């Protein structure tokens, strides 16, 4: 081995640059953050060739005095912290003093700056770490940094640059993050001389989202807000129909900084549980505020990851903030006029392709796509009514819903009578709701008249949803209510199944399933969840053991619990093909209004479709 030597400064900077500057977008991020730290109210980002040729950021911030210019590009030179304590209460975006030194070492950069109170500005050029200047120079108040030919002296890195479009995509992403976190700042992005985005100051976040993402999605966003002495969460979340196939549209900001955090990510997915199909991801924009000493931002060179001092608390607050809002919202999907139009068009013209050539799978796919379009961009129903009176009884564990929220005084208190049909199905009916007209069709759907039109309900999906919420509620309170069996049912099992059941005994108890060994290869079911009256215990347990064995070790306990709750709800619910009694239809419909999130079944499919009178009139050309 060679001798140990201290590396020369330019090499140190180059090495640091490897961490901080991955691609042009990283430069954009660092420079934008510097402008924000400088108090800029207007920032322009000019890009050429996806940033490979030029990145120029101009701001109207505090500027850099002539005497300090030289230091700006020195490594570990910063105006943002002075002493160690400052590191634990970071309020600026930067503090490591690395960005400019790194950028200067791997590009041809120029900095022109003037503080507002200085008569003349200064100019400094740095190329591959070699400095020229500073020299006095005319300058507007503020700072302009131009970065040319990034990685010109690190060919290996330059080779890894992608197409102009790809690099520009990354730049736009960084710009978007800054724009969402700083709605009060005027931001302009241009590429090869053409305007990409101009965001005037003082826009609402919803307006910015409309411009940067999609207007129709922005319109539908639901505001969230949650305050607590340690944490404040505000933001906008999208109803389930706007879900995406990836998590790219989940934006989380902590104290104004865009972060990626697996606890928060998990809480987001968890809060939409049951509302989305398995391969869909929610769209959310979250702005979290925490005391600066409750989080360590100095764990990642680009500061995109942080360490919370109490990540569990952050998780549960995020979960509650989103879930509260989803629970209060009627998420039933109105049919859009456009969708109705499309439907009648395709059936009359046969434009979709000949029947023979379209396979069943293709057809299913087409129908799914049509359904997705159906639900896309539909405005929330005007009659949407918060489920206030019911909310209290479905409160999540550890979930502090403000008790002083608006309450619906017009609604009489819940008087519940429990009706029991001859088949032992139990659905409780709130006595207060007025009877509506309804009809069961094909033993599968319920059609009901409501004030502004009709609802079409999938009876199985809705009942499944109702039972799921009841199970979920009971589970969150501790354990599911279990009904003791006078004569225990028995089930024959293999050794392996026996072990799986024994290992899961605690979880089964939480689910209200009480079992005991009853001979060498037999177990007895002593207690079974009271909500699952319709379900045959031995058969259910046999299925459950299969799930336990196939999932063991693959999923967390919590995921498994949810899977089992799903399975219970599905088995306990009425099926398509079941003829329902008057009473059952009535109570099912009545509970639709009461049960949280009844508009999607636990698998994320909608339970209810809404057709308004206006839409009917349009279809029949009455308007
Ligand atoms: P850091 O942001 O971590 O302090 P940088 O290398 O990004 O480190 O910047 C070094 C210093 O240069 C900053 O601390 C700041 O004082 C100054 N600076 C950089 N960009 C600007 C700007 N646009 N306006 C005013 N000062 C700036
Ligand atoms: Mg910086």
Ranges of residues in the chain with a pLDDT under 50 are: 341-358, 360, 363-364, 366-368, 370-379, 381-435
Q: Which residues contact 109 (CB under 8 A, 6 or more apart)?
A: 73, 100, 103, 125, 126, 127, 145, 146, 147, 148
Please state, in angstroms and rounded to a whole number, the distance separating the CA atoms of residues 58 and 44. 5
- State the ligand closest to the CA atom of 114: 1
Pocket test for ligand 1, best of 65, 78, 91, 126 (most atoms within 8 A of CB): 78
Residue 406 is predicted with a pLDDT of 30
Decide whether any atom of ligand 1 lies within 6 Å of the 65 Cβ.
no
Neighbours of 4 (CB within 10 A): 5
Decide whether any atom of ligand 1 lies within 6 Å of the 44 Cβ.
no
d(CA 72, ligand 2 centre) in Å: 10
Cα 105 off chain centre by: 38
How confident is the model over 165-199, as pLDDT tens digits?
999 999 999 999 999 999 999 999 999 999 999 99
Residue 186 is predicted with a pLDDT of 98
Residue 23 is predicted with a pLDDT of 94
Decide whether any atom of ligand 1 lies within 6 Å of the 35 Cβ.
yes
Decide whether any atom of ligand 1 lies within 6 Å of the 34 Cβ.
yes
d(CA 247, ligand 2 centre) in Å: 28
**Of the candidates 509, 295, 229, 274, the residue with the CA atom closest to the CA atom of residue 396:** 274
Nearest CA residue ID for atom 20, ligand 1: 34
d(CA 72, ligand 1 centre) in Å: 6
Residue 564 is predicted with a pLDDT of 85
Q: Are strands 186-191 and 514-517 parallel, antiparallel or unpaired?
A: unpaired
d(CA 34, ligand 1 centre) in Å: 5
Decide whether any atom of ligand 1 lies within 6 Å of the 147 Cβ.
no
Tell the residue number behind the tokens 């736009």, with chain if given.
172
Strand, helix or coil at 240? Answer: helix
Please state, in angstroms and rounded to a whole number, the distance separating the CA atoms of residues 429 and 425. 12
Name the H helices within 552-602.
557-572, 582-594
Please state, in angstroms and rounded to a whole number, the distance separating the CA atoms of residues 35 and 147. 15
Give the nearest ligand 1 atom to 142 CA: 24
Measured between alpha carbons, how far apart are the two ends of the chain, in Å? 88
Give the nearest ligand 1 atom to 61 CA: 24
Residues 349-386: b if buried by 16+ CB within 10 A, e if exposed: eeeeeeeeeeeeeeeeeeeeeebeebbbbbebbeeeeb
Decide whether any atom of ligand 1 lies within 6 Å of the 81 Cβ.
no
Strand, helix or coil at 127? Answer: strand
Residue 283 is predicted with a pLDDT of 96
Decide whether any atom of ligand 1 lies within 6 Å of the 16 Cβ.
no
Ramachandran angles phi, psi of 243, nearest 5°: -55, 155
Residue 361 is predicted with a pLDDT of 55
Sheet holding 333-334, edge to edge: 333-334, 608-612, 453-458, 445-450, 438-441
Give the nearest ligand 1 atom to 98 CA: 6
How confident is the model over 496-549, as pLDDT tens digits?
888 888 888 888 888 899 988 888 788 899 999 988 887 888 888 888 888 888
Sheet holding 482-492, edge to edge: 482-492, 522-529, 514-517
Residue 502 is predicted with a pLDDT of 86
């Amino acid at each position: 081995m060679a001798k140990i030597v201290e590396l020369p400064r330019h090499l140190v900077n180059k090495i640091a640059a490897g961490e901080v500057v991955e691609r042009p977008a990283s430069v954009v991020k660092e420079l934008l953050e510097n402008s924000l730290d400088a108090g800029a109210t207007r920032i322009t980002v000019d890009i050429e060739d996806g940033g490979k040729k030029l990145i120029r950021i101009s701001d109207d911030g505090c500027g850099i005095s002539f005497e300090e210019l030289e230091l700006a590009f020195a490594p570990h030179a910063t105006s943002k912290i002075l002493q160690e304590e400052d590191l634990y209460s970071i309020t600026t975006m930067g503090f490591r003093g690395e960005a400019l030194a790194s950028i200067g070492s791997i590009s041809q950069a120029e900095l022109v700056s003037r503080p507002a109170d200085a008569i003349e500005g200064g100019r400094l050029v740095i190329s591959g770490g070699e400095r020229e200047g500073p020299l006095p120079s005319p300058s507007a108040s503020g700072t302009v940094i131009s970065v040319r030919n990034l990685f010109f002296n690190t060919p290996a890195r330059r080779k890894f640059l992608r197409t102009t479009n790809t690099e520009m995509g990354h730049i736009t992403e960084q710009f978007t993050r800054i724009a969402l976190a700083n709605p009060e700042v005027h931001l302009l992005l241009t590429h090869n001389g053409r305007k990409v985005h101009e965001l005037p100051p003082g826009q609402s976040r919803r307006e910015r989202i409309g411009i940067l993402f999609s207007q129709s999605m922005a319109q539908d966003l639901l505001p969230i807000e949650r305050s607590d002495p340690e944490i404040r969460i505000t933001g906008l979340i999208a109803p389930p129909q706007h879900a995406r196939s990836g998590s790219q549209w989940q934006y989380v900001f902590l104290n104004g900084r865009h972060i990626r955090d697996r606890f928060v990510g998990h809480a987001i997915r968890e809060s939409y549980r049951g509302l989305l199909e398995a391969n869909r991801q929610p769209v959310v924009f979250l702005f979290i505020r925490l005391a600066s000493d409750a989080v360590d931002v100095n764990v990642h060179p680009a500061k995109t990851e942080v360490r919370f001092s109490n990540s569990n608390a952050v998780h549960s607050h995020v979960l509650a903030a989103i879930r509260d809002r989803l629970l209060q919202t009627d998420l039933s999907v109105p049919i859009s006029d456009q969708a109705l139009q499309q439907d009648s068009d395709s059936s009359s013209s046969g434009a979709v392709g000949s029947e023979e050539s379209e396979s069943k799978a293709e057809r299913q796919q087409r129908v799914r796509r049509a359904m997705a379009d159906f639900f896309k961009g539909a405005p929330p129903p005007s009659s949407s009514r918060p489920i206030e009176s019911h909310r209290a009884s479905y409160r999540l564990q550890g979930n502090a819903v403000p008790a002083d929220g608006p309450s619906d005084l017009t609604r009489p208190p819940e008087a519940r009578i429990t009706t029991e049909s001859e088949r032992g199905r139990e659905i409780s009916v709130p006595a207060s709701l007025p009877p509506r007209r309804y009809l069961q069709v094909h033993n599968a759907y319920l059609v009901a008249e409501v004030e502004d039109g009709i609802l079409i309900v999938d009876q199985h999906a809705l009942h499944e949803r109702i039972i799921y919420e009841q199970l979920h509620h009971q589970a969150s309170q501790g354990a599911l209510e279990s009904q003791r069996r006078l004569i225990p049912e028995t089930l024959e099992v293999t050794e392996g199944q026996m072990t799986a059941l024994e290992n899961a005994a605690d979880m089964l108890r939480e689910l209200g399933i009480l079992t005991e060994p009853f001979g060498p290869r037999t177990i007895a079911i002593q207690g079974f969840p009271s909500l699952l009256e319709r379900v045959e215990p031995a058969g259910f347990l046999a299925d459950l053991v299969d799930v336990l064995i196939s999932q063991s070790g693959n999923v967390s306990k919590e995921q498994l619990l949810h899977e089992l709750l799903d399975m219970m709800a599905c088995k306990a619910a009425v099926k398509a093909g079941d003829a329902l009694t008057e009473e059952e239809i009535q109570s099912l419909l009545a509970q639709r209004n009461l049960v949280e999130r009844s508009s999607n079944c636990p698998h994320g499919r909608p339970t209810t479709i809404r057709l308004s009178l206006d839409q009917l009139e349009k279809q029949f050309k009455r308007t």
